[in-house]
Chain A
Amino acid sequence: MTNSGIREFLWLLVLGAVLGAGAWIATEPDFASALGTNVETASVEEHRKRLSDGSASGNDAKELPGIPVVTQVDFNAVMSVYFGAENVHFIDARDAGTYEAGHVPGALHFDAERLDADEAYGHATLESIPRDHAVIVYCSGGNCDLSMRLGRNLIVRGFRNVLVYEGGWSEWTSEGAPTEEGASQEVK
């Protein structure tokens, strides 16, 4: 009985692999390109250089085939290099209500899921941002999913210096950094 059970289990593994491969082929090429974010980090000095260069060469440096590289940025680099600097845009990926209750001053609000699903959403707003500007995306913090998702989407849309602020809103407020309240400008 044990042997037949093992055979059944192996059969299920094979069936699972076949189903998975079939789904992969059916969704190709979207699957390999739409997802998967390779993550890298950079020092404060590297961040300064990126901002002055107007691009993040690191975004291509370690890129796996079809997988956009998102660079993570910590609180120190955000405050010392990006916050208040020119050519830097903050994007809040949390839900609209949470954004209105408090966000990084000047941050835009984007719905990450809608940005993934609707190509027209945010098109005009994003077109108004030069692709070599630094875009810092954040959500609630603690490796929340939406900032990574939004960051990947922005890279696919041609932004060359996309940074995900890993600590997010929870770290921003716990560090006593400036905040503001109110609705975002309309995303077109």
Chain B
Amino acid sequence: MNRLAVDTRFLWFSRLLLGAIFLYAGLPKLMDLAGFAASIQNYALVPEGLIHVFAAFLAGLEVATGAALVTGRSRRGASLAVTGMLVMFTTAIFLAYSQGRSIDCGCFTSELSVERAGDIRDHMRMRIYQDLGMLLLAINLMRVEWDWSMGAVESIEEDEE
């Protein structure tokens, strides 16, 4: 196994980074559920009648997961939640992008102030790359937390000694 992938400092950095990003993204959504619901609606993946409930739940889950990652509580559950959400976000943006649509991805509330289709599609492509990067960190986190967390980390630490 790649030593970096199970390095305690790298895992700590991954948790903190993902947690901070999810808190930064989730808190404004909780405070502007209507705006977040509008973003979800643009994807046309959630039934109309469920958009409000889904928006409220997803914003809450983002904040709860972000807080868990930053504080180091419920690490296994948080690593699963963050991986699941990133898979969902990446898939949704990729689907919208591949369908030729130009939408505000809703990753961070009200981040777009321009409405040029080309700019928005560039922005969507950038978000896909960012989500894939975060997804790699999250999958590694989950792999360590769920499979060999202590054994693998301890073996690396022993090697270093």
Q: Which residues of A contact B (CB under 8 A)?
A: 1-2, 4-13, 15-24, 27, 30-32, 34-38, 64, 67, 93-95, 98, 113, 139-146, 148-149, 168, 170
**Interface pair B114/A31, CB less than 8 Å apart:** no
Per-residue A-contact encoding for B12-29, CB less than 8 Å = 1, 0 else: 000000000000000000
In the complex, which of the residues A1, A19, A64 contacts B48, with contact meaning CB atoms closer than 8 Å? A64
A18/B60 contact (C-beta < 8 A), A12-B78, A67-B48, A141-B102 known: yes
**Interface pair A8/B78, CB less than 8 Å apart:** yes
- Determine whether B156 belongs to the interface, using a CB cutoff of 8 Å to chain A: no
Q: Which residues of A contact B120 (CB under 8 A)?
A: 140, 144
**Interface pair A145/B76, CB less than 8 Å apart:** no
Name the residue among A23, A93, A149 with the largest chain B CB count within 10 angstroms. A23
Interface majority SS (helix, strand, loop, mixed), chain A: helix
Nearest chain-B residue to A19 (Cβ)?
B60
Q: Which residues of A contact B51 (CB under 8 A)?
A: 35-36
> How big is the B interface, by class?
35 or more
**Interface pair B38/A149, CB less than 8 Å apart:** yes
Q: In the complex, how many residue pairs between chain A and chain B have their CB atoms under 8 Å apart? A: 158
**Interface pair B102/A93, CB less than 8 Å apart:** no
Per-residue A-contact encoding for B110-135, CB less than 8 Å = 1, 0 else: 10111111001000000000000000
Q: Which residues of A contact B65 (CB under 8 A)?
A: 12, 16
In the complex, which of the residues B30, B62, B115 contacts A144, with contact meaning CB atoms closer than 8 Å? B115
Q: Which residues of B contact A24 (CB under 8 A)?
A: 33, 52, 56
**Interface pair B117/A144, CB less than 8 Å apart:** yes
**Interface pair A12/B61, CB less than 8 Å apart:** yes
**Interface pair B115/A20, CB less than 8 Å apart:** no
**Interface pair A141/B117, CB less than 8 Å apart:** yes
Expressed in whole angstroms, the Cα–Cα distance for A113 and B113 within the complex equals: 8
**Interface pair A140/B113, CB less than 8 Å apart:** no
Q: Which residues of A contact B35 (CB under 8 A)?
A: 35
Q: Which residues of A contact B137 (CB under 8 A)?
A: none
In the complex, which of the residues B48, B49, B60, B102 contacts A17, with contact meaning CB atoms closer than 8 Å? B60
**Interface pair A143/B77, CB less than 8 Å apart:** no
In the complex, which of the residues A1, A18, A37, A144 contacts B76, with contact meaning CB atoms closer than 8 Å? A1
A4/B42 contact (C-beta < 8 A), A31-B34, A36-B37 known: no
- Determine whether B63 belongs to the interface, using a CB cutoff of 8 Å to chain A: yes
27 contacts across the A-B interface (CB closer than 8 A): A5-B80, A6-B77, A7-B77, A12-B68, A12-B78, A15-B60, A15-B61, A16-B65, A18-B60, A19-B64, A23-B33, A24-B52, A30-B34, A35-B35, A35-B37, A64-B48, A95-B114, A140-B102, A140-B120, A143-B101, A144-B102, A144-B115, A144-B120, A145-B112, A146-B115, A148-B41, A149-B38
